[in-house]
Amino acid sequence: MIHSLFIINSQGDVFLEKHWRSVIPRSVCDYYLEAQRANGNDINPVIATPHHYLISIQRGGVSFVAVCMEEIPPLFVIEFLHRVVDIFQDYFSDCTETIIKENYVVVYELLDEMLDNGFPLATESNILKELIKPPNILRTIANTVTGKTNVSDILPTGQLSNIPWRRSGVKYANNEAYFDVIEEVDAIIDKSGATVFAEIQGYVDCCIKLSGMPDLTLSFVNPRLFDDVSFHPCVRFKRWEAERLLSFIPPDGNFRLISYHISSQSVVAIPVYVRHNLSIKTGEQGRLDLTVGPKQTMGRTVEAVKIEVLMPKCILNCVLTSNQGKYNFDPVSKILHWDIGKIDVTKLPNIRGSVSIASGSNTSEINPTINVHFTISQLAVSGLKVSRLDMYGEKYKPFKGVKYITKAGRFQIRM
């Protein structure tokens, strides 16, 4: 399975390596670094070398490169690497080069428990937190003085059960179950405003704080919307296939219950529009006019709106006036950033002004693209709705809550 893991920073230096089966020299990472120099950030996640397979992900400016000696399902390794990063973020609140270096000991302890002889072992956050206590100032000082580690002497109770994701004996004074239905809209809109491509990547994140061993059933009003789904291991897949219900014994704490994909363009509503106009008056001067407004938001407010206009290289500078938010233009990267915030429907955000164009440029090839970022609370743009949540196996009545959020994924408008 996985023989070694190398963690590489943005400068191409290996600052952490972990070997499970045999020690593989870090010179094997040269194949990855060559691909990075040739392709930038668009690196093939699987690189075949004469004797190894390199499978990699990039998160937070750091590259995680797993080395395998034989053929292996690549998505299996990619999912494991993402789980490693998620665990680091859960333990240390972030996963950057600096934070990993500050917590070398805990990182190695976690990698020892997550992989055994190259095979995944304990990958659930609440099990790992019983095995290895998350670092804090007092524990770090005590370990330094006494020479102890964060590793527990007692094996977690859930590790040997048939429900390894949940520890036994969980007790809470207030029993709560919260579900966040989050949808990200990926879309490409052409010059005329027509939708070229649109799909939704969605997921349901949970925060479950329930005593005992509850058995939950979550149902949706319209589960047939899903084109593709992936589940947390706690979900009973046969029940989903037969009844389109999510039946599960939940882990304790935060976890992702389900990820789904909706590709039918008829279902994907485009929640914002951008009216754009870039006109070239003379050889060295032009006018830019952008207006942003809500569209198909079911009366909900569009918040945290940010616009990025990727200008062509011939644009030298922008002198603009906006009626809402702040803007800045980076003459090096040629990107215009406009931070709008909340859209007021009574006075739509507008930015206009002049752009300077390098003399002798071919103005017929000026076709900038606009990247849009936004958030809409209490709206699932696909129309997905949670019908009900039932609990079995426990007698108390928990407090239940569902929150819907729509965000922009890769949302691009062509000018």
**pLDDT digit string, tens, across residues 203-254:** 999 999 999 999 999 999 988 888 889 999 899 999 999 999 999 999 888 8
Can you tell me the distance from the alpha carbon of 277 to that of 415, in angstroms, rounded to the nearest whole number? 8
Q: Does the structure show a pLDDT above 80 at 28? A: yes
Reported as a single tens digit per residue, the pLDDT across 320-350 is: 889 989 999 988 888 999 999 999 888 899 9
The answer to whether residue 375 scores a pLDDT higher than 90 is yes
Burial class (CB in 10 A: 0-12, 13-18, 19+), 325: middle
Rounded to whole angstroms, the Cα distance separating 299 from 288 reads 29
| In the predicted structure, residue 297 carries a pLDDT above the cut 90 | no
Q: How confident is the model at residue 143 (pLDDT cuts 50, 70, 90)?
A: low
- In this prediction the pTM is 0.80
Q: What is the DSSP letter of 301?
A: P
Q: How confident is the model at residue 286 (pLDDT cuts 50, 70, 90)?
A: confident
More confident residue, 122 or 218: 218
pLDDT of 298 reads 82
Greater pLDDT, 404 or 160: 404
Q: What is the DSSP string of 127-148?
A: HHHHHBPPP-HHHHHHHHHH--
CA distance 162 to 215: 14
pLDDT for the residue 148: 65
pLDDT at 64: 95
Burial class (CB in 10 A: 0-12, 13-18, 19+), 73: exposed
Residue 281 has pLDDT above 80, yes or no: no
Q: Are 97 and 62 in contact (CB under 8 A)?
A: yes
| SS3 at position 366 | coil
Beta bridge partners of 354: 287, 319
6-20, 130-144, 219-233, 266-280: segment of lowest average pLDDT: 130-144
Supply the pLDDT for residue 364. 66
Q: What is the pLDDT of residue 144?
A: 60
Strands 272-282 and 285-294: antiparallel
pLDDT of residue 264: 78
Q: Give the pLDDT score at 14.
A: 92
Across 69-83, 149-163, 292-306, least confident range: 149-163
Q: How confident is the model at residue 313 (pLDDT cuts 50, 70, 90)?
A: confident
pLDDT tens, position by position, 153-211: 565 555 556 677 887 778 999 999 999 999 999 999 998 888 888 999 999 999 999 99
Which of 127, 396, 387 is closest to 246 using CA atoms? 387
Residue 307: its pLDDT value, please? 93
Task: Count the neighbouring beta carbons within 10 Å of the beta carbon of residue 228.
Answer: 10
pLDDT at 208: 92
Helix (H) or strand (E) holding 181: strand 176-189
Can you tell me the distance from the alpha carbon of 380 to that of 396, in angstroms, rounded to the nearest whole number? 30
Mean pLDDT of the chain: 87
Contacts of 345 (CB under 8 A, 6+ apart): 293, 294
Residue bearing the bigger pLDDT, 73 or 267: 73
